[in-house]
Amino acid sequence: MKKDSLSKPLALLFGSLFLLLSACTSPNAILSSLTPVSSETTSLPASESDASSNPVSSTPSSSPDSSSSATSSASSSNSSSTPSSPVIDGYWAGIDVSGNMVGNAFRGALQNVMIKKGTKTGSNSYKELNNILSKSDQHPNGGVCAFYRHDEKAGSWNKEHVWPNSRGAGENAGYAGSDPQVIRPTNSGDNSSRSNYMYAERQDPTAKATAATGWDPAAFGYEGARGEAARIIFYAATRYYSLSTAGAGGTSNGAAPLELSVTLDGTSANHLMGKLDDMLRWNAFYPVTRAEKYRNDYLGGINYARNPFIDHPEWADMIWDAKGIRTSSYTPSSSSYSSSSEPASPSKDFRLVTSTGDLVNGSHYVIASSPSGTGYAIAPMMVATYFVGAVPVTINSALLNIDNTVASFVLGNDGAFYTFQNPQMGYLSGCVNSPHYNLGFANAVSATTSWSVTLASDGSASLKSGAGVYASYDTKYNDFTGSQTSATLALFREVQA
């Protein structure tokens, strides 16, 4: 037999074996057999060119289907060094988060999924929002949860255009002003206070706002509203950014699409919202809340478009940076605490508490969900009456290193009970508001703020308030809440230099 006649069959045999093994070991093939995904195939649109150095303006953007060749070469310029890394989960399947697709290309891909899967978006009138919001924003005690305040408004309430009516949202069906992802229930007076001003962080959020200063969503004392507001603005600027607002109704002027602005702009007809760098920072610093997750799940469950920045807060940095539309490759962290977060204060070490001898009056403590491994800790400035925000932490050898994204508490003790006081939030409180067992904060010491602490040698801790409420961590919503039954947490005490 000739050498060539032997090598060809062997080459074919090895080639077939290679293809078979590749198919069997493909991560996507394995994951698709284990992870439920949508039966739909999401086709990504051809995308826009991101060549402009100052793309955030009032100039209408082109369709996400235009200029595909320019963006294709720009997006693929780094493809040889960074492999594609598509999202695996069902709703956002096919979105490339490798860092090669950024700016309007990434925004167009998200918009395509939102339009294709959010089939009910645009089908309701502005008036019909009353019924939708009463369910999507339902408060744990009934009534609705008032935006900006994060409290209950059981009686009459108003509808807040988070993206203002006069800045292009309008109120007609099919536009942002009738989209329940963009409209939130508010107290009537709060709605009037905001007017149609852009969002901007202010040293005194309660000071009278003007077009030149912007309006701070923390004006009523709930700083977490900053993060919630930013993620809604990012949603509107993604779902509607390339779509003409002509016919939006209300007091909207012109046809300019919705777009974000680096600077505060007082001209409503430009249909701009900002201030971009503040909103990027808020999105990074203030964690996604239980209310956001609940309403996103509810609206997505009845076929309205999901808000991608609630599912993946870090994706905002794939589209924008502080100068406008992102033009270069970028790979964000899987955490929402990215490079755009507030500057961290010097970090501090906290060690796991394993005995009551470590509970020292006046010392600083962190409350975490677990005594070891990866967990969550209570976040600062996430004040709520029914649950408390959390941020991810990693515990190494019973040691926890934190910066200003984690709240620390000063321990108080009267001999029988302990108090946990944070200078911004007040005293940790566990109370019963039938039928709910709630975790929140109070301004004064009472039975609800007085805690008995039980510790195990492995660092497992149980905290029970004088009102009979256990502090617990909710794995579904990644936050801290009250419970009727004992729950495992952990305390960490600051290591003194």
**pLDDT tens digits, residue range 51-65?**
333 335 433 333 333
Q: Of the candidates 126, 127, 71, which has an alpha carbon nearest to the alpha carbon of residue 100?
A: 71
- Whether 306 and 180 map to the same domain: the answer is yes
What distance lies between CA 157 and its chain's CA centroid?
25
Q: Judge if 288 and 146 occupy the same domain.
A: yes
Residue 111: inside a domain: no
Asked whether residue 224 carries a pLDDT value surpassing 50, the answer given is yes
The residue type at 188: S
Query: 263-300: b or e for each residue (b if 16 or more CB lie within 10 Å)?
Result: ebbeebebbbbbbbbbbbbbbbbbbbbbbbbbbbebbb
Listed residues 325, 357, 373: the one ending a domain: 325
Instruction: Examine the domain organization and report whether 394 and 431 are in the same domain.
Output: yes
Please give the backbone phi and psi of residue 85, each rounded to the nearest 5 degrees, phi first.
Answer: -135, 80
Q: Which long-range contacts (CB under 8 A, 24 or more apart) does 19-23 make?
A: none
**Is 60 exceeded by the pLDDT of residue 4?**
no
- Is 389 found in the same domain as 249? no
The answer on pLDDT for 25 being more than 50 is no
- Give 370 or 336, the one with higher predicted confidence: 370
The enclosing domain of 469 has a CATH number of 2.80.10.50
pLDDT of res. 287:
85
> Both 384 and 267 in a single domain?
no
For the segment 185-194, the average pLDDT, to the nearest whole number, is 87
Of 325, 357, 388, which residue is a domain's last?
Answer: 325
What pLDDT, on the 0 to 100 scale, is given for residue 383?
57
The reply to whether 362 falls in a domain is yes
Residue 283 has pLDDT above 90, yes or no: yes
**pLDDT of 260 higher than 80:** yes
pLDDT of residue 415: 83
- Please tell me the predicted confidence (pLDDT) of residue 215: 97
What are 223's two structure tokens?
């700083």
Q: Are residues 150 and 256 in the same domain?
A: yes
317 by DSSP, 3-state: which?
helix
Q: Which residues span the domain enclosing 212?
A: 116-325
- What are 340-372's pLDDT values in tens digits? 444 445 689 999 999 999 999 999 999 999 999
Per-residue confidence at 332, pLDDT binned at 50, 70, 90? Answer: confident
Per residue in 100-152, pLDDT tens? Answer: 899 999 999 999 999 999 999 999 999 999 999 999 999 877 789 999 988 77
Structural domain includes residue 175? yes
pLDDT at 274: 95
Supply the pLDDT for residue 345: 56
CA 361/CA 409 separation, integer angstroms: 11
Q: What percent of the chain has pLDDT over 90?
A: 61
**What average pLDDT does the segment 58-77 reach?**
31
Q: What is the pLDDT of residue 11?
A: 43
pLDDT surpassing 80 at residue 19: no
pLDDT of 497:
67
Statement: residue 14 has pLDDT above 50: no
Q: What is the mean pLDDT of the chain?
A: 81
For residue 74, pLDDT beyond 50: no
Confidence band for 222, pLDDT divided at 50, 70 and 90:
confident
Residue 278's pLDDT band, with cuts at 50, 70 and 90, is: very high
- Average pLDDT estimate for 478-486: 94
Q: CB under 8 Å to 444, separation ≥6 — which residues?
A: 427
d(CA 497, CA 493): 13
Q: Are residue 282 and residue 363 in the same domain, yes or no?
A: no
How many structural domains are present in the chain?
2
Q: 356 burial class (0-12, 13-18, 19+ CB within 10 angstroms)?
A: exposed
Bridge partners of 473, per DSSP, are 480
Which CB contacts under 8 angstroms, 24+ apart, belong to 314-319? 314/338, 315/97, 315/106, 315/110, 316/230, 316/231, 316/234, 316/280, 316/283, 317/280, 317/284, 318/97, 318/99, 318/101, 318/102, 318/106, 319/102, 319/103, 319/104, 319/106, 319/107, 319/234, 319/238
The answer, yes or no, to whether residue 2 has pLDDT greater than 80, is no
| Mean pLDDT, residues 230-235 | 98
- Domain match, 150 and 296 both: yes
Q: 234 pLDDT exceeds 70?
A: yes
320 and 408 assigned to the same domain: no
In a domain, 353, yes or no: yes
Q: Is the pLDDT of residue 29 over 60?
A: no
Beta-strand runs (E) in 88-190: 144-146, 151-153, 158-161, 183-186
Q: What is the pLDDT of residue 387?
A: 87
Report if residue 62 sits inside a domain: no
In a domain, 68, yes or no: no
Confidence band (pLDDT; 50, 70, 90) for 161? Answer: very high
Are 387 and 244 within one domain?
Answer: no
Q: Are residues 353 and 296 in the same domain?
A: no
Q: Are residues 215 and 310 in the same domain?
A: yes
With respect to residue 27, please indicate whether it lies within any of the assigned structural domains. Answer: no
Paired residues of 441 in beta bridges = 428
Q: What residues pair up with 349 in beta bridges, in sequence order?
A: 401
Average of pLDDT values for 181-204?
92
Least confident of 100-104, 174-178, 428-432, 435-439: 435-439
pLDDT in tens, 387-413: 888 889 999 999 999 988 899 999 999
pLDDT score for 464? 98
In a domain, 12, yes or no: no
